[in-house]
Amino acid sequence: MTETLSRPAAAAPHRPPGLLPQKLHHAASAIADAARTTDFYSRIMGMEMVHTVMDDRVPSTGQPFPYLHLFFQMADGSTIAFFESPSLPPRAPASHPGYDVFDHFAMEVASRDDVDRWAQWLQANGVEIVGPTDHGIIYSIYFHDPDGHRLELTTNIDATWSQHARQARADLDAWEEAKRAAKAAGNDASAALIELIRMRKGQE
């Protein structure tokens, strides 16, 4: 079993230089049928299955779950991965519809035309899609794999979309302050956040 590192008594004041993840290696989810998943990601999505791991225990925890771990590769070398373990019960339904919308995996394509071509290809293969949706910064379609994982194919519209760190921090601060003020006043946080969002949109 892999040893678990203990947490330091006090957080280090500064992250060491260069200590930053370099790229997405893989994101992984549990599935019910490895063959069905392989057909979808290989035939429909065009992603080669480049590696598998078969074991009777989870290496990081030692838990006795027999599994097959599959990796499917995208053009840049990053992968999306899955586990089939017959001992797992069916996944429990989400407790709120929002989880089924917010939890998703987005893959980038080269252009709007490619997004539209993907939409046609998916529909021709019986895959229901939502969109295309123009978000202002990206252009996307949404759909589900055979296990219900929500997927997105997207392309950048605004080439500078990821260059707004200062504004992102200001938005987080405003969001947290609205929640804090609502809680202190005994008000509904969602209502306060809707008011904040509408105020921000009115300033755009």
Q: What is the pLDDT of residue 7?
A: 59
Phi-psi region of 104 (alpha: psi -120 to 50; beta: other; left: phi over 0): beta
Residue 79: exposure state from Cβ atoms within 10 A (0-12, 13-18, ≥19):
buried
3-state secondary structure 150-169: EEEEEEECCCCCCCCHHHHH
Pairing of strands 79-84, 26-31: parallel
Class of domain 97-156: alpha beta
Q: How many CA atoms lie within 13 A of 137 on its CB side?
A: 6
The residues pairing with 73 across neighbouring beta strands, listed in sequence order, are 48, 79
Closest among 97, 50, 47, 91 to 69, alpha carbons compared: 50
Mean pLDDT value of segment 134-158: 97
> pLDDT-derived band of residue 5, with 50, 70 and 90 as boundaries?
low
Task: Give start-end residues of each CATH 3.10.180.10 domain in the chain.
Answer: 1-91, 97-156
d(CA 114, CA 136): 17
> What does the buried/exposed string (b/e) look like for 88-112 if buried means 16 or more CB atoms within 10 Å of the residue's CB?
eeeeeeeeeeeeeeeeeeeebbeeb
Query: pLDDT category, 105, cuts 50, 70, 90?
Result: very high
**59 or 102: which leads in pLDDT:** 102
Cα distance from N-terminal residue to C-terminal residue, the chain = 53
Mean pLDDT across the chain, nearest whole number?
A: 92
> What was the pLDDT predicted at 202?
82
Q: Which CATH number fits domain 1-91: 3.40.630.30, 3.10.180.10, 3.40.50.300, 3.90.1150.10?
A: 3.10.180.10
Angle, alpha carbons 102-173-182 (nearest 5°): 80
Contact 170, 185 (CB under 8 A): no
